[in-house]
Amino acid sequence: MIGPLITLITILLINLESSLAQRIDEVASIKADTSQESKAPILIIQPKYMRSEVVMMIPKARNTVYSAGYLSKLGLTNFKAEEFRMTYRGGWKEFKKKALKQSAILLKSIQPEYIKNTQGDIEYAILQSSDPLLASSVHTGEFRKIFKAPFGPNLWVIIPNRSTILVMKADKNRLNTYKKAFYHMFLDATYPVSREVFLVNPDGFSAIGDLNQGSN
């Protein structure tokens, strides 16, 4: 009688252990999914002096770099190198593709403000949002489409802080009129991005000058 009872208890314990292990796996899976959701990728554009473990250079830029990040409870957070490698097996290419997909979605929800002169001509445009995805929207096809009509295919772009993008057509005289004010926007920023002027066109994204130096 004791033998069958022990066998029954053993079977029950095995089933309980198996059920518990399965539950632990489910909880771990949920936590992993939640962790990934909280780490939706953000392509960060930031001053070069800000140290990050995952960094990519911007063509011709001297003071600005790319970094890989995500939004955490602490705000915009840079990936650690090992964490990045574990999350994005496809490397920077995979990360950038996913990050820009989110930036393109954000861009659709923002209306640019066009600043005009006394003659009614557009001088430049402003895009503003508190979403940290804003800065990287300059890399999307949607960004070029929005500003091609008013400014042409070659856009000059300034990103003084995380919440602001300034856009104008390639015009040295016009830039020189505003560059001092744009530079002070960078200096006064709580979260600065770049003091450099960038060219955005179908060929890509690259730096062409510095707001704190001579004419571009």
**Do 176 and 158 fall into the same domain?**
yes
Q: For residue 214, what pLDDT band results from cuts at 50, 70 and 90?
A: low
pLDDT above 70 covers a percentage of the chain that reads 81
Judge whether 163 and 199 are in contact, CB under 8 Å: no
Residue where a domain terminates, one of 74, 89, 106: 106
* Angstrom distance (rounded) from CA 52 to CA 81: 9
**Do 49 and 117 fall into the same domain?**
no
Residue where a domain terminates, one of 106, 129, 148: 106
Residue 216 predicted with pLDDT over 90: no
pLDDT digits (tens, 9 = 90+) for 76-91: 999 999 999 999 999 9
Q: For residue 74, what pLDDT band results from cuts at 50, 70 and 90?
A: confident
Q: For residue 51, what pLDDT band results from cuts at 50, 70 and 90?
A: confident
Judge whether 158 and 197 are in contact, CB under 8 Å: yes
**Do 137 and 54 fall into the same domain?**
no
**Do 96 and 124 fall into the same domain?**
no
pLDDT digits (tens, 9 = 90+) for 169-207: 999 999 999 999 999 999 999 999 999 999 999 999 999
Give me the mean pLDDT over the 39-47 stretch: 95
**Do 67 and 102 fall into the same domain?**
yes
User: What total of structural domains would you count in the chain?
Assistant: 2
pLDDT digits (tens, 9 = 90+) for 138-179: 999 999 999 999 999 999 999 999 999 999 999 999 999 999
**Do 124 and 102 fall into the same domain?**
no
**Do 184 and 202 fall into the same domain?**
yes
The owner of tokens 């002169």 is: 117
**Do 160 and 76 fall into the same domain?**
no
Residue where a domain terminates, one of 83, 106, 129: 106
Tokens of 203: 């060929």
**Do 159 and 198 fall into the same domain?**
yes
Tokens of 166: 């300034």
* Structural domain containing residue 134: 113-210
pLDDT digits (tens, 9 = 90+) for 96-136: 999 999 999 999 999 999 999 999 999 999 999 999 999 99
CB contact set of 100 (below 8 Å; sequence gap of 6+): 43, 136, 139, 140
**Do 59 and 74 fall into the same domain?**
yes
Residue 154 Cα distances to 45, 169, 177, 208, angstroms: 20, 7, 19, 12
Residue 48 falls inside a structural domain: yes
**Do 136 and 51 fall into the same domain?**
no
